[in-house]
Amino acid sequence: MHTLHMVAVKVDADTVLDNPIGSAKEEACGDVHSTLLGDEQPYATWYDWFVVGGGRFVEGDAYSENHDNAIAYHNEPEKFIAEMDKVLGWRKETATQMLERLKDKDFDFINAIETALDGGKESRFDHDLYSGLELSRIANGYWTPDSHFFDLANGTASNEFILKDIEEGRGHEWVLVPVDFHY
């Protein structure tokens, strides 16, 4: 499966202020690629490969990495905020749907865990237990396939540090990079 995430990167302020905006986008995309790839290992365990620049979710070659679709706050503050809010809305929508499905089934998370630990479900996948776990991870700010957003500078799926920087006049250091993740 594929999922689109906006990965927020904090670039060197001098790169943004002293160079064309494309330099900040290039730097941000390079940071995303090198950090997520790590030393030939994924940064997180939930994806196996990715395309920086949006991949299949944007126009053009689905497998070519480019910085054209990155959004620099310094250049497009309204678009930056709108895009960040959009993907965070996707996360909330997904989490709400998971929660409603579990409520409809009158899912008892504690009972499901106890049953699994007692050997009742070890040999098969329990979709409801997985959904409960995934919902819990999203609620606790973990980066998951359903987060749709990640702050690479602070290692969180929250936007709180970005908003603080914007409020304190350091928003120009942030770039959103669309990334197509396969998991």
Q: Which residues contact 16 (CB under 8 A, 6 or more apart)?
A: 23, 24, 72, 74, 172, 173
Name the residue among 5, 175, 140 with its Cα closest to residue 86: 5
Cα separation of the two ends of the chain: 5
pLDDT at 112: 82
Give the structural domain span for 17: 2-182
Residue 181 structure tokens: 């993740």
CA dihedral 32, 51, 68, 14 (to 10 degrees): 10
pLDDT at 56: 94
How many degrees, rounded to 5, is the angle at CA 61 between CA 16 and CA 77? 30
What is the count of structural domains for the chain? 1
Distance of CA 34 to the CA centre of its chain: 16
Q: Measure the CA–CA gap between 132 and 153, rounded to whole angstroms.
A: 28
- Residue by residue, pLDDT tens for the chain (183 residues) are 999 999 999 998 776 666 666 788 999 999 999 999 876 667 888 999 999 999 999 988 889 898 999 999 999 999 999 999 999 999 999 999 999 999 998 988 888 888 778 765 555 567 888 889 999 999 998 999 999 999 999 999 999 999 999 999 999 999 999 999 999
Whether this prediction's pTM lies above 0.85 is answered by yes
